[in-house]
């Protein structure tokens, strides 16, 4: 993973939950991360349909889950969390900013000589 930028938006954070570092520990353990909130999953009506929810699964595996919550709903919220080379977006509203932050990291990791 060294030198690689990783990112996800919404449920995509589930793709990291079983990933391990070279030393065998979970990639997400101790990392600040986000993904769709449990509240939003249930507000969308898919809480009982989808078997895994990012908020629960990230917390279970030791990630420091971060979220922005609205007063009545989380559907209109947006949050991007960067921890080292991992960039995560809370939901669909965070997609563009997540992509931009990932591009910024990639750009910083290359030195271009013209």
pTM score: 0.92
pLDDT given at position 2: 61
**Is the per-residue pLDDT at 22 higher than 60?**
yes
Euclidean distance between CA atoms 87 and 62, whole angstroms: 17
Q: How confident is the model at residue 1 (pLDDT cuts 50, 70, 90)?
A: low
Structure confidence by residue, pLDDT tens digits, 54-80: 999 999 999 999 999 999 999 999 999
Domains in the chain with CATH codes: 6-109 (3.40.50.880)
Distance CA 59, CA 80 (A): 17
Q: Residues of 68-98 as b/e, b for ≥16 C-beta within 10 angstroms? A: beeeeebeebbbbbbbebbbbbbbebbbebb
> Residue 39: in which H helix or E strand, if any?
helix 38-43
């Amino acid at each position: 993973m060294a030198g690689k930028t990783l990112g996800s938006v919404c449920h995509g954070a589930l793709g990291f939950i079983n990933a391990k570092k070279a030393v065998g520990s979970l990639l997400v353990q101790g990392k600040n991360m986000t993904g769709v909130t449990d509240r939003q999953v249930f507000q969308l009506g898919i809480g009982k349909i989808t078997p895994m929810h990012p908020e629960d699964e990230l917390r279970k595996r030791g990630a420091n889950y971060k979220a922005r919550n609205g007063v009545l709903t989380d559907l209109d919220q947006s949050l991007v969390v960067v921890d080292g080379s991992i960039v995560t977006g809370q939901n669909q509203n965070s997609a563009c900013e997540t992509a931009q932050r990932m591009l910024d990291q990639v750009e910083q990791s290359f030195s271009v000589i013209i």
